[in-house]
Amino acid sequence: MLRINCLIFVLLMGCPPTATFYGAQPCEDGTECSTEQQCRSGLCVDASCGDGIIQLDESCDDGNQDNEDECSILCQPPRCGDGLLKSDEDCDDGNDLQEDACTNSCKLAACGDGIPRVDIEPGIAGYEECDDGNEVDTDACRSSCRESVCGDGVVRTDLSPDAVDGESCDDGNTVMTDQCLNNCTLATCGDGVVHEGVEDCDDGNEVETDLCLNDCTSARCGDGQIQAGVEACDDGNQDNGDGCLNDCRLPRCGDGFVQRGVEACDDGNETEEDACLSDCTENVCGDGILNPNLETCDDGNQSPTDACTTECQTARCGDGFVYLGQEACDDGNRNNNDSCVNDCILAQCGDGYTWEGQEACDDGNARQEDNCLNNCVANRCGDGFRNPEAEACDDGNDAQDDSCLRNCQEARCGDGVQYVGVEQCDDGNADQGDACLNNCQTARCGDGQLQIEVEECDDGNLQDGDDCDRNCQSEGLDLPDNCYELDGRNRASFYCRDARGWDTARARCNLALNGSDLMSLETSDELAAIRQQLRESGHLTTDFWVGLVDNNGFNFAPGPAWLNDWGGPLFYDANERGRRCFRIRRIDERNLHDKRCGERYHYLCEQVR
């Protein structure tokens, strides 16, 4: 018993060196024990694993209790499955069962290792229905080691949808009326299940004449399919005239719908006195039967010239048919300017309507002195008939030298046409400085009008010694200092550079040349010419006084004002409160300016008598 205990102890820990073995055969050095024993401490004892001696039933014996070396405590080389856990092993359950918690490779079992466990009951943690060793969710075994089934929300892709357990869809619910059915096939028209929001119906058959059509829409009138026992016809359109009505009934005469190629009309009633007879034929004009709703007459003939037209309407002026014995014409329009006027009378000159292409005018009266003559020809200048609305005269000729010009205006001085025996000339302008004066008399020396480039002066007389001789040649002016003669004017004119007030300037003008006064300017062009002459002579250095023409009035604005109204002569009212006089400003081009009369300026003078 002690030997057995010692052996067990040796296997586990080794026997203590002081152990006493009872019944052991003594041995000396050199004395051999049996093959099953060995000499130790002078006694033959049985051999054991871990004693350092390899016995027949041992593959190795390194004499230690270390399982991490090349010989285990079982005196065998270490291996997975020997039940001894080594540092390079996750586990070692000492069996050959692959499907438990420790695999035959001494790895802890895990979902995804490709080995399905069989040692755990369903519902316990770690239970696996399958394990295909991958993380793909779309094959037969999902990454959670659960078998792929229809309804798990994952579509299998390892099988064709038509194969056993194959899936076309998987929406993870048990609703039969959505896009994926409970057998994981896509909802289709004809599968017998109504797909909500997509199908009206689904009866699972291919019959087109029942309540549900093959496109899963509810049968209705107008769908092109005849519903047996319900519809007489169904042509799929909304045309009531093609042999099938819109309510899927067959048409009939009297239903109010005209069938093309079959009925001429169909007014939906059986009245014979309207436009459509009860047999669906039209009531025709000319049949001798009055249709009171459409016809005012029906004389049973096709004559358009009697009291009843071919349209079964009572003849009237303007219907386009000439009613014999009643109308001279009838062109069927409301145009009074053609050959037939609106009262069905032939157009003629004097009826007050202009016949286009035939008459130039037609005023409907017998007067010759208006715009239209009695022969319907437009009144024109030269026809000998005066039109008071447009002509001053009309002598019926083209002569330009008599009292009536060819434009039918009375001859007058200034019209540019010389009236023989009355006018000496007529140049048609208002220039008094050319060869023809404004009174249509030929210009001559002594008429008081300066003829430009012909006369140097013209003082209205033929006397010598008054600065202008009898030949209208200048005799020169004897002017005081600071006064300078101006050229190009009908009368003697000069410019004085001694600054004076308005009244003093007027007196100085008369003193310098008897009969002179401040110069009057009537047009802006006249002002511009004076300014240009003063500028060229170097005298335009300051403002200067000018005079105004008599017998006209002008209202002043309050305060200083530039006066540029050249529509007529300007006149200064001596009674104007505050008394203001006219000057030409040195810096203005074509305007007059008013100023208080006491101011001192240079001044312009001219001979006025």
What secondary structure, in 3-state letters, does 175-217 show?
Answer: CCCCCECCCCCECCCCCCCCCCCCCCCCCCCCCCCCCECCCCC
Read off the pLDDT band of 1 (50, 70, 90).
very low
Percent of the chain, pLDDT > 90? 16
The per-residue pLDDT of the chain, averaged, comes to 81
Choice between 381 and 21, residue whose per-residue pLDDT is larger: 381
Select the more confidently predicted residue: 587 or 566: 587
* Helices and strands: H and E segment counts in the chain: 3, 11
In this predicted structure, what is the pLDDT of residue 23? Answer: 59
Question: Residue 581 above 80 pLDDT?
Answer: no
What CATH number does the domain located at 483-607 have?
3.10.100.10
Instruction: Give the pLDDT score at 590.
Output: 53
CA–CA gap between residue 100 and residue 108 (Å, rounded)? 9
Q: What is the pTM of this model?
A: 0.29
What tokens appear for 120 in the block?
Answer: 């755990």
Selected residue with higher pLDDT from 578 and 165: 165
- Rounded distance between C-alpha atoms, residue 471 and residue 473, angstroms: 5
Instruction: Tell me the residue type at 554.
Output: F
**Secondary structure of 254-309 in the HEC alphabet?**
CCCCCCCCCCCCCCCCCCCCCCECCCCCECCCCCCCCCCCCCCCCCCCCCCCCCEC
SS3 of residue 494 by DSSP: strand
Position 367 scores a pLDDT of 83
**∠ Cα 431 437 441 (to 5°):** 160
Q: Is the pLDDT of residue 556 over 70?
A: no
Q: Which of 210-214, 467-471, 578-582 has the lowest mean pLDDT?
A: 578-582
Mean pLDDT of 428-438: 85
Q: Structural domain boundaries of the chain?
A: 1-78, 483-607
Q: Looking at 63-67, 75-79, 258-262, 541-545, which range is the least confident one?
A: 63-67
7 versus 155: which is more confidently predicted?
155
> For 340-362, how does the pLDDT look when each residue is reduced to its tens digit (9 = 90+)?
999 999 999 989 899 999 999 99
Specify burial of residue 237 (Cβ count, 10 A radius: 0-12, 13-18, 19+). exposed
Give the tens place of pLDDT for each residue, 475-518: 667 788 889 888 777 677 889 999 998 889 989 998 888 888 88
Q: What is the pLDDT of residues 94-134, one digit of tens each?
A: 888 888 889 888 998 888 888 888 888 888 888 888 988 88
Residue 223 CA, chain-centre distance (Å), reads 41
pLDDT (0 to 100) of residue 322: 92
| Cα 190 from Cα 202, distance rounded (Å) | 6
